[in-house]
Structure 1
Amino acid sequence: MRTAIYGAGSLGTVLGAYLTKQGIECDLISRNKAHVTALQQKGARIVGKADFSVPVKARLPEQMQGTYDLIFLLTKQLENRKVATFLRSYLAK
């Protein structure tokens, strides 16, 4: 199953790190170029009740390719209509 997290800010990165740690491949998609670059270079670092780092696949929206079976949408609600329209062509049937 091909999975993505669109809106991989703080919560999306945490979710993506835990999924990746469990062996579930997922793309972390963010419009924040600096954040994507940091994730690509250093992976996701989780601290708090858990403490681990994991390499993740991070992309900018324009770097998305193919379709996904599941896309977690973690953007602000004000963006939902715009983002859902954008993501429509990336969702598998």
Structure 2
Amino acid sequence: MYKNNIEYLAANSEKIDLAFFPTFGGHYYMIEKLKPTYSFPMHDGGRELQYKKFAERADRLKLKTKVIDATANGDAFLFKDGIIKKIGQ
């Protein structure tokens, strides 16, 4: 089911700016197919440190996306004019 959804989005989208995804399966496939500019791993059950590890792994694998790793519950980001910035503290 997940693969079919990704295939549909890839076939019907010109450009994906932001992708939000769980880190428990299918995320590498999603990034490879959709090529989002920015990727937000999520739903890791209070283990936000996993997001940083995922970002480091994505960099090592040379995935064509910039992984944004939230470091704490409630982190906020602003996406404007193609740029993402962390806001507030």
TM-score calculated relative to the size of structure 2? 0.42
TM-score calculated relative to the size of structure 1? 0.40
